[in-house]
Amino acid sequence: MTRPIRNRRRRGVTLMELLIVVTLLGLMTTGMLFAIRIGLTTMERTGARFSGHRLVLGAERALEQQVAGIIPVTFECGSPNGARMLFFSGEPDSVRFVTSHSLEEAGRGYPRIVEYLVIPGERGEGVRLVLNEYHYTGPLSLQPFCLGPGTDPLTQGPRLAPPRLGPRPFVLADRLKSCRISYLLRGPRGEKIWLPRKAGRMLPDAIHFEMTPLEPDPSRLRMGPVTLPVRANRDPEEFYHDLLQ
């Protein structure tokens, strides 16, 4: 007696179903990779932007602290009678003075001779504000900046050499459309006026940096106009008796 043969159904997937699964898996993997790439790119751009913002804030802080730390230093610049004059040069595109704050050592190191000057930008696009720093070791370290005896007819101060780009300049602000420096001085009647050039024997009451970006971008932090008060108000030609105590 023979038994009937029963058709046993075998469970499985067809080739078409396998292709569909592989295709869907590939699309999901590709989508995940694109999402990861977009996330990493966004993080990189955000980090670069935050780094740029920190540089701008650090530059503004350094500028503020150096102006606040101005020292009214006097020296002999070839004067025949040995008269001492204030070491401070203020022009529309440059300013030079001695300060107790430096970029390398902040307020803990030795004083520095600093020069802020406006120079053309890279590839001639706009201008940039750069900083030169030199060690100040006493009045003799100021002699290389002196051009000789006499006074400057415009500033009524010592004849100083114009600032030049140093060996290790630091770029404070780049890609600027313009950068002008002005000084808050006291007029003949004691009134305070803003002038493009520092004149007289006294230090200015404040220094204003008018900076305009070359390409305004609201999403990026740029150095804008800033007014910095000068805390030192000592008359360099006045003798203070409390110095003897």
Give the whole-angstrom CA distance, residue 45 versus residue 57: 18
In a domain, 3, yes or no: no
Structural domain tally of the chain? 1
Segment 6-21 shows an average pLDDT of 72
In a domain, 243, yes or no: no
In a domain, 244, yes or no: no
Query: pLDDT digit string (tens) for 79-125?
Result: 666 678 889 999 999 999 999 999 888 778 889 999 999 999 888 88
Lookup: tokens for 148: 């000789």
In a domain, 15, yes or no: no
In a domain, 7, yes or no: no
Tally Cβ neighbours within 10 Å of residue 143: 11
Tally Cβ neighbours within 10 Å of residue 108: 9
Give the whole-angstrom CA distance, residue 63 versus residue 43: 30
In a domain, 14, yes or no: no
The Cα-based distances of 50 to 46, 53, 57, 214, 224 in angstroms read 6, 5, 10, 20, 17
Kindly report whether the global pTM for this prediction surpasses the value 0.85. Answer: no
- What range does the domain containing 161 cover? 45-229
